[in-house]
């Protein structure tokens, strides 16, 4: 976390914003922040999970003035799951999840370009590592199934000043992953243990991300915008001079 904060402060010290807050074809958008995973399970799920958080990073490329593609990943950390019937203290396993995802985004173009809402649709690939059985399942072999699932996204950027924009991003997904427990004879159940246990995870988590955003303009578009601004400014100055002379 300390290294992440140092990296974050370095990014904050860079002045990459221009006075053009609109997004256009060829622009790059970098977001960095913290994502909270709010677990939601189907009614017939046998397991539960506490709220989990981790630093995340994403970048988007605008293929058109409105349409972009975004790639997101995070710094993984250990997650515990518990037996829903016995409560949060009855942990049965832990694991580390790598879940990069890609979304196609549509950016709306409101008149007030300080506020940039967008929606997205994409895919998330979930792989699981360092699975470990805990509690009553200690000693058994706990494995989670990899999955590829759809993900839905809604969010917005709000420009604070020339350097920084704040971002709120919400994503919803329904995973098809499940868990299998084998070698149960190595647990406290001993010879009375079943051959295997299959868990239907039924996860339908919601993620909420709070980010800082940096916009990197398409150089050609930015030069065109800057030239237009200079012409507008020059025209305004001329009109002011004329108005002053007529007084």
Q: What is the DSSP string of 157-189?
A: EEE-SSS-EEEEEEEEE----EEEEE-GGGSTT
* pLDDT digits 0-9 by tens, 117-146: 999 999 999 999 999 999 889 999 999 999
Q: CA-CA distance, 37 to 40, in Å (whole number)?
A: 9
Per the model's pLDDT, the better-predicted residue between 82 and 8 turns out to be 82
* pLDDT digits 0-9 by tens, 46-101: 788 888 889 999 999 999 989 999 999 998 888 888 887 777 788 889 999 889 99
Which of 35-49, 93-107, 180-194, 216-230 bottoms out in mean pLDDT, i.e. has the lowest? Answer: 216-230
Contact yes or no for 100/70 (Cβ under 8 A) = no
Strand 141-144 versus strand 147-159 pairing type: unpaired
What mean pLDDT is predicted for residues 23-28? 84
Q: What are phi and psi of 113, to 5 degrees?
A: -75, 0
Q: Using the predicted structure, report yes or no on whether residue 21 has a pLDDT greater than 80.
A: no
Q: CA-CA distance, 89 to 83, in Å (whole number)?
A: 8
Which pTM was predicted?
0.75
What mean pLDDT is predicted for residues 33-46? 84
Q: Using the predicted structure, report yes or no on whether residue 183 has a pLDDT greater than 70.
A: yes
């Amino acid at each position: 976390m300390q290294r992440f904060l140092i990296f974050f402060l370095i990014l904050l010290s860079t002045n990459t914003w221009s006075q053009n807050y609109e997004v256009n074809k060829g622009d790059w958008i970098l977001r960095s922040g913290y994502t909270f995973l709010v677990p939601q399970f189907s009614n017939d799920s046998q397991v539960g999970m506490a709220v989990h958080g981790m630093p995340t990073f994403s970048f988007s490329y605008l293929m058109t003035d409105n349409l972009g593609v975004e790639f997101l990943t995070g710094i993984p950390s250990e997650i515990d799951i518990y037996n829903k019937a016995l409560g949060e203290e009855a942990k049965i396993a832990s694991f580390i999840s790598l879940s990069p995802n890609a979304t196609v985004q549509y950016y709306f173009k409101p008149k007030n370009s300080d506020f940039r809402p967008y929606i997205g649709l994409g895919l998330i690939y979930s792989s699981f590592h360092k699975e470990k059985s805990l509690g009553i399942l200690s000693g058994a072999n706990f494995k989670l199934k990899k999955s590829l699932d759809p993900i839905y996204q809604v969010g917005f950027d709000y420009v604070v000043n020339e350097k920084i924009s704040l971002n709120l991003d919400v994503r919803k997904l329904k995973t098809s992953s499940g868990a299998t427990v084998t070698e149960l004879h190595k647990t406290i159940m001993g010879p009375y243990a079943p051959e295997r246990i299959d868990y239907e995870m039924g996860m339908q988590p919601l993620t909420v991300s709070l980010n800082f955003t940096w916009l990197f303009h398409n150089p050609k578009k930015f030069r065109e915008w800057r030239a237009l601004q200079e012409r507008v400014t020059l025209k305004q100055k001329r009109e002011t001079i004329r108005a002053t002379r007529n007084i």
